[in-house]
Structure 1
Amino acid sequence: MENLKSYLSTISPISEETWTAVSQLFTFEQLNEKEFFIEENKYAEKIAFLEEGCVRAFFTNNEAKEYNKQFFVAPSLIGAYTSLLTKTPNLIPQQALTECKIWIADFNELEKMYELYHDLERLGRKIAEFYFLEKEKKELEMALQNATERYLKFRKQFPNLEQVIPQYHIASYLGISATQLSRLRKNLHTVNY
């Protein structure tokens, strides 16, 4: 649980009093590879700190084709934020791509503490701001950068992920086919030699 405390402190400092109260809400769980943290059309109730592992957020189109929207690599927070805030069914499932260690808390209980602990409320706002900026950044990358630029940015953002997850997940995240990714990687490899 010390990793959770350290992670939260890097976003926005919280007092020992706040940490003592908040830490009681979290319980440790393991998430197996391919297991869902939250499924599609379910109401989200939990938020979690991803202490170890990788989780993907994705959606499926009408032809049952999956598109990876985001990767969460430890340390990170996971949860269906839109569903949590709007109290509507989740549209973007989150699934473990590796074995994961997570600390789970009930979002409503955490939110109730905002009234008592203003440093916790500030932390919640900063987390929301971070994910808003991440979402906008990804949308701009998809619209303004070519596949090579997106791939190089992916490698910089997630330096070890290529060795851990299947290539088709990376291709989906980049908005290209697995064949295109393979060709792109080959071209970059050739250029570097």
Structure 2
Amino acid sequence: MNPLQQVLTKLTPQPAEAAEAFLAAFREQTVAKGETVIRAGAQTRQIFFVEEGVLRAYSSSAEGAEYNKAFFVEHDLWGIYYALLTGQPSHLSVQALTPCRLLVADYKLITDLYGKYPTLERAGRRMAEELFVLKEQREIDLVMLDATARYANFQRLYPGLEQRIPQYHIASHLGITPTQLSRIRAVISLPM
């Protein structure tokens, strides 16, 4: 079973015909490091599966400051969900932080399969529920936890990612400066 099929089956077991229809909707795309996959202000109608690589979803202020909202790594199935549901342009940009190999499908094609395969619709609902829980937890963490606790959560959610991407991206995701992140890392690495 390929990784995309494993993710789908983990959400909800699928009959072979439903899984085949779902997998057939995707095509392969390679993305170079630094390339923008989705640009803020543009329409997005695609969902993505990361076969290999790391991407970031971020927003930019009018002054050019960037805030990393999320990272996507191997075996993540993602899209800019609110833009897909509402048809509005994306407020986020998505950029490859490493060379990436993606599988890409048209969101409407996937949702059209829901009528024929209720198990796919159930998987879509479960995916939306998981994304909602992650979003809620992240919002609570940003308000309730200090930077050290947010960093610990980052390490738990993204094991090994800090060795693959620049530290300033992690600091941006945590809502702190790179200097603050360096201090936290220094304190954590001190022997007890």
- TM-score bracket, normalised by the shorter chain, equals over 0.9
Would you say the 8 A contact 1:38–1:79 is kept in 2? no
Query: Secondary structure of the residue that 1:13 maps to in structure 2?
Result: coil
Query: Secondary structure of the residue that 2:62 maps to in structure 1?
Result: coil
Residues 97-142 of structure 1: CA deviation (Å, up to 9, x unaligned): 1111111111111111111110000011011111010000000111
What percent identity do the matched residue pairs reach?
A: 40
Cα distance between partner residues in 1 of 2:86 and 2:78: 16
Would you say the 8 A contact 1:39–1:92 is kept in 2? yes
Count of matched residue pairs:
192
Task: Provide runs of 4+ in structure 1 moved above 3 Å.
Answer: none
Cα distance between partner residues in 2 of 1:159 and 1:107: 29
Cα distance between partner residues in 2 of 1:139 and 1:147: 13
Cα distance between partner residues in 2 of 1:23 and 1:60: 34
Alignment of 1:42-191 (within 5 A): 42-190=42-190
User: How far is 1:78 from its partner?
Assistant: 2.2
User: How far is 1:28 from its partner?
Assistant: 0.9
The letter for the 1-side match of 2:98 is T
Aligned to 2:30: 30
TM-score scaled by length of structure 2: 0.96
**Residue ranges of structure 1 left out of the alignment (5+ in a row):** none
Residues 47-81 of structure 1: CA deviation (Å, up to 9, x unaligned): 11111111111111121100001111111012211
User: How far is 1:154 from its partner?
Assistant: 0.9
TM-score scaled by length of structure 1: 0.96
The alignment yields a C-alpha RMSD, in angstroms, of 1.2
Query: Secondary structure of the residue that 1:14 maps to in structure 2?
Result: coil
**Residue ranges of structure 2 left out of the alignment (5+ in a row):** none
